[in-house]
Structure 1
Amino acid sequence: MEKANVSAFLKKYTMVIVLIIVTLFFTWKTGGRMLLPQNVNNLISQNAYVFILATGMLLCILTGGNIDLSVGSIVCIVGAVGATCMVNLKMNIFASILIMLATGLVIGIWQGFWIAYRRIPPFIVTLAGMLMFRGLSNIVLDGYTIAPMPEKYLMLFNSYIIDFFHGDGLNITCLLVGILAAAVFIIITFRGRRAKVKKGYAVTPLGSDIMKCAVIGLAIMLLMWRLAQYKGIPNILLWITVIVLIYGYITSKTTVGRHLYAIGGNEKAAQLSGINTNKVYFIAYANMGLLAAVAAMVTIARLSSASPTAGESYEMDAIGSCFIGGASAYGGSGTIPGVIIGATLMGVINLGMSIMGVDANWQKVVKGAVLLAAVIFDVESKKRAK
């Protein structure tokens, strides 16, 4: 029984194990610098846009392996609009945020219309969008960089949660939040297991759930321990957490989420069962535009500027994170937690190689190889299943 539990755990949490191994490898190669408190904080802040964009990209991929190539350009134009409003026009920051969100949503609706209701291939629509919105962002910026962003705006994303207990060199609030988060995760896991047992559903072996809670709980505590040794919980982590929880709920507990998986599994069967597939496609791409706007807000806050080159290759990071995190290249499978693991793995590889001084071109080679390996693993797994 114990062997079965271990086997089930290893099969289900392969990417978690890979993430741990890669992190330990870079920690060893960097002489421990990889896990310095400041580097752990940098890992979160530098990859915030990846977490946000990958969450939205998953919804597009679930519909049948479709992707959105325009998200980097949307980040650029939304950032340009926001910076123009806040810096050049001196508008209220909250009004500017609403304008940025509206801009991203309108772009998402525009692309969603052509993809969902006119059935233009997503690759073509978003490729066109990538070119159009990059050009429009340069027109808005007139080729210049707008900086700096207002201090009040930067505080929304770049500041840290106050330590209410005023720990000496250690953020007590951060540690308590970590303990609470780990406890909540364990409670939710076992409540969900008990509910499945009551309804007669199949459940994973008990040992597998215990191992999952132990690994995830330990990871949460280690993260909070390192953050507590720096400045505590960064605001951007709260933004990421809220987005992940919302979309984790949408994909796993709502009708829209079930429809996304159904369309990715078999679109014709989904149509015959009464699912409005056009509407689901539209929601996926409109939502992608909205989350790209949120990523733009985070990006211009981190850089304190909006430039014509902002957002370059962001779409590749988001797509790569989804596939590395277990999303199928054919659609119909993938989870928000998996995407977050994939994005974290990409971030760890980037940070580790940067600390080691690896050339940027070799970093691209490694990231491409990791992405290819993840997709090959997915394809071969499906072949064996058949």
Structure 2
Amino acid sequence: MSTPSTTGTAAAARTTSVPLDLLYSEEEDALRAAVRDLLTDHCDPAGVIARTESDTPHDLALWKSLTEGMGLAGLLVPEELGGQGATHREAAVVLEELGRAVAPVPYLTSAVVATEALLAVRTGAPPGGRTDAVVGTGGLPAADALLGELASGRRVGALAVGLHIAPGGAVRTARVENGTLHGELTGVADAAVADVLLVPADDGGLYAVEPGAVTVTPQVSLDLTRPLATVTLDGAPGRRLGDAVPAVRRALRAGAGLLASEQLGLAEWTLTETARYLKERTQFNRPVGGFQALKHRLAQLWLDVVGLRAAARAAADALATGRDADLAVAVAQAYAAPVAVRAAEEAVQLHGGIGMTWEHPAHLYLKRAKADSIAHGTSGAHRAALAELADLQAP
């Protein structure tokens, strides 16, 4: 039997020497199948298009099925807080399927970004688990109570930071005056449906704010399935949860890394549907998919999507294990946006006239791809971060 010190050394060696495994496990494949079946039944393209034309772009019935029915909002939350205790790899699988369906649910914003911010607060709390602020429901620390509510789906959370902000980027904060919060925060994704807003403030704290205490004004957004809003705080009360800087940084890093999986799902759907359409559409009594020029375009796009899969899976695995997470996320986001946008553009073009119509869902994927291309930092911003991390800056 190994001594404790030997066991620790062996564990450390395994952590640093285990080769990267990007293959999907049986559990991940089963999770994918379950989520895809649910989305097939409850998130058809015609329904998504109709919802974008309404005053209720979020599909809260679908959200309830994903959260209360399948427990997917709590994948990243520890079991002792009511979550599933899973990893970012499983969350990435869910986001792949949500990307394939362009599902109008706040999964990325609540189950990933807001959850990661709260997990960072909890990790940084003093011994005993309490922050320097308020005790929440049932005597638990406020962050723990909120994590349990987000994991169950009873609440939707949103980090009040512009969707365009990259990990480590400059964040606009609210002002703390006389014990209340003041200011205007723009570009906040899914704020309209949030039950709790996590607001960074100029005193360095992260505050939980009830939506009834603020004014949420919708902003014009290209992607109607993930609406943006301006959050105005005018003397809003809030519960200080902990330090904002590490919480926001961790949340945005996880959001950027797992966004690549959503972009992967989007690119896969557009490639698959475009190839299927080109096999069915005929011209000069031949399927147009047999034309050499189109085959070359699809072949190149397939190679790009395969590369995106590797980058997205590597980012999810790095977030799950903590190995080179900053580097893997920068690689994934430097690559993901151009591929997803090109795949969606090719889908619109190669579908011909029907691809330009509102009734066909191709425009949903193009809008989501274009909006995602600036979400959590542009590909250029991530390339710059990657150059710094790899010490390969331009002269």
Same fold (TM over 0.5): no
Say which structure is richer in strand.
2
Say which structure is richer in helix.
1
* TM-score, length-scaled by structure 1: 0.29
Q: Which fold has the larger relative contact order, with Cα–Cα distance below 8 Å and residues 6 or more apart in sequence?
A: 1
